[in-house]
Amino acid sequence: GGSESMSSVPMTGYKPELNYNTVKEGHADYYWGMGNTAEAVANQFKISREDQDEFAYNSHMKALKAQAENRFQDQIAPIEVEETYLDENGKKAVRKYTVNKDEGPRKGTSTAILNKLRPVFAANGSVTAGNSSQMSDGAAFVMVMSEEMVKELNLEPIARVVNYAAAGVEPRIMGIGPVAAIPKVLKQAGLQQSDIELIELNEAFASQSLAVMRELDLNQEIINVNGGAIALGHPLGCTGAKLSVQLFDEMRKRNMKNKYGLVTMCVGTGQGAAGVFEFLS
């Protein structure tokens, strides 16, 4: 598992500091900013602004529909939080409330609204705040154990890790990492793309997601069926666990016993990762 609090990150990009040894060793290209890599992917793989905004809009619509149908309810552990604020008299006050759903999905958005946003990483670019994943806080946890331990403890496993793979790509276009990782993990697992019933893709940027889907000719109908990080947020430190939880729960709802699902993500500095799971429970 893992956690992430992007809202409290002290260095948000205004004063970045490079690791001297990394630069000295000739690896300055590791420091491509994520937004710049998204622009590089959009340019190299010819992903239009219109397609990016349409993809982002659909992510929000799928997430809103899933929330309305309570499809995330079994995945979320509600937490009580305290918030300090100024009341109507300007005095400090504290209120408590329960966080039990993601705050990212936007009911009022539309492609027309998204089309009006300015690019934020390149003057004539196509990547905007609207077609990029959100800065989010979050945490996720899964328990992994051997088959022997499952039997010893007499537990009912949810899923089986069939195989896992990581692959390296050029840091400048790190977003296409899954293009290298997915074929690798499928080969290791002895499976074809057609064997995969559901896919959770990290959806860092619309340009990245579209490039991955088009390069591998993935079935878009089975990818991020309840929305992705553009709508739900992208808490980096819990990405793998969070996507796995989403995959397992959706496979359960669809009665996909003994079917295969896939979790995949790009990784900053030039990586792709992918895992294949067999749903058991």
Q: Are 258 and 265 in contact (CB under 8 A)?
A: no
Angle at 201 between CA 195 and CA 206, to 5 degrees: 130
- Terminal alpha carbon distance of the chain: 20
pLDDT, residue 143, reads 96
Extract the residue ranges of the chain whose pLDDT is less than 70: 10-18
Give the C-alpha separation, 148 to 180, whole Å: 32
**Per-residue CA distances from 20 to 35, 73, 268 (Å):** 23, 46, 18
Run of H or E residues at 210: helix 206-216
**158 close to 248: Cβ distance less than 8 angstroms:** yes
C-beta separation of 182 from 195 below 8 A: no
**pLDDT at position 23, please?**
72
Are 179 and 272 in contact by the 8 Å Cβ rule? The answer is yes
Which run of H or of E encompasses 166? strand 159-168
Q: How many CA atoms lie within 13 A of 96 on its CB side?
A: 3
Q: Pairing state of beta strands 137-140 and 2-5? A: antiparallel
Query: In 3D, which of 171, 150, 169 has the Cα closest to residue 159?
Result: 150
Domain 2-7+19-74+107-279 sits in CATH at 3.40.47.10
